[in-house]
Amino acid sequence: MPVFEEGAGLYRIPVFTPFDTPETNVYVFRGDRTGLVDTGIRHPKTRDDLLCGLRTLGIERADVDLIVVTHAHVDHHGLAGDFAGSDVLVGRRDLDRVREFSKSVRADLEDVHGLLEPWGVPASLAGSLDDLFGVFLGMAGSVPDAVGVDGTAVLGGLGPDLQVIELPGHTEGLIGLFRAADGLLISSDHLLSDITPNPGLYISEGGKARSGLPDYVRSLATVRDLPVRRALPGHGPSFGDVPSRIDAILAHHEIRLEDVRAAAGRGRTIFEISARMFPGLGADHSYLALREVYGHVEILLEQGRLVRRKEGPVEIVEAA
């Protein structure tokens, strides 16, 4: 397994992921302490990739005494429980999802089922989502002793100080780590070199859904305000010229807003818009497409470029 040096005492180990993305990046810090940022999914090949990469650096599993989880997605925290005795830090808004993983997956499925009828999703897809979420349950474990952190935290002992940066959007509690000493930002899935992350879906206790897309756009401004020399993403190679990448992402979302508005036409459901824009997807990608469309619909409604009406339990949106 190749290991890439990204900065002084900072290394990147790409590890296997079964998802349709580049390999997940695990970052290794070597200072007074040895720390990992993310771990990859709970899968034998991922574990082998990670341990092989660590051995290349002369690190055994027992040497790792800190793990930072950038966000509560299984391809990033799945193996966090493998490192007994390590402290585990998670963004405070994602903490419960890592502490009680199985419970959170089941709660997510229940919440998603509550959205399927308003979104006009056919029952056949609902059954496929049950299977999909069942697979997720085997991809990570709970880490009950994990501790939450926020943007006030500075992590020491891993070389130059690391400032925790809150970057909600892809998940509600996603965090990055900024090393001011050399301008390196571990951007996780918030900022990737070639793809844009799927927006998160937040569900309140009352069952009301809110897209993470507006948060995501605001978080891009947070990154733009930092003197970042190079971004170290959750997938794929590191890259520079971060402002240009942010501009490209914002332009992409402006085009997507127009596409969603056009697809809504004189009145369609979230599912109909999604099927029109992303035809022929399987259950896993259909769910992501629904979230993508929903996020852009919410922004268009707020801007007054779409209007919403109800036909029984189903919500219809149309161009204003």
76-109 pLDDT tens trace: 999 999 999 999 999 999 999 999 999 999 999 9
Q: Pairing between strand 34-37 and 24-30?
A: antiparallel
Counted residue by residue, the chain has a size of 320
Element (H, E) at 28: strand 24-30
Q: Which amino acid makes up residue 42?
A: R
- pLDDT value of residue 81: 95
Report which DSSP code applies to 16: -
3-state helix, strand, coil in the chain (%, to 5): 40, 25, 35
Helices (H), 170-316: 213-224, 242-264, 270-277, 283-303
Can you tell me which residue has the tokens 């769910």?
Answer: 287
State the amino acid at position 151 in one-letter form: G
How confident is the model at residue 280, as a pLDDT? 83
Q: Alpha-carbon distance 222 to 238, whole Å? A: 19
Contact 23, 15 (CB under 8 A): yes
Beta-carbon neighbour count of residue 235 at 10 Å? 21
Pick out the chain residues at pLDDT < 70.
1, 283
- Three-class SS state of 82: helix
Residue given tokens 């918030």 in the structure block:
190
Q: What is the pTM (predicted TM-score) of this model?
A: 0.96
- Specify the CATH number for 4-240; select among 1.20.1050.10, 3.20.10.10, 3.40.1390.10, 3.60.15.10: 3.60.15.10
Spell out the domain ranges in the chain. Answer: 4-240
The confidence score (pLDDT) of residue 171 equals 98
Largest CA distance in the chain: 63
Which residues are paired to 317 by β-bridges? 268, 308
Asked if 173 and 95 count as a contact pair (C-beta separation under 8 A), the reply is yes
Supply the pLDDT for residue 204: 80
The confidence score (pLDDT) of residue 248 equals 97
> What's the pLDDT score for residue 27?
98
The tokens of 32 are what? 């007074």
User: Which element (helix H / strand E) includes 98?
Assistant: helix 95-99
What pLDDT, on the 0 to 100 scale, is given for residue 125?
Answer: 81
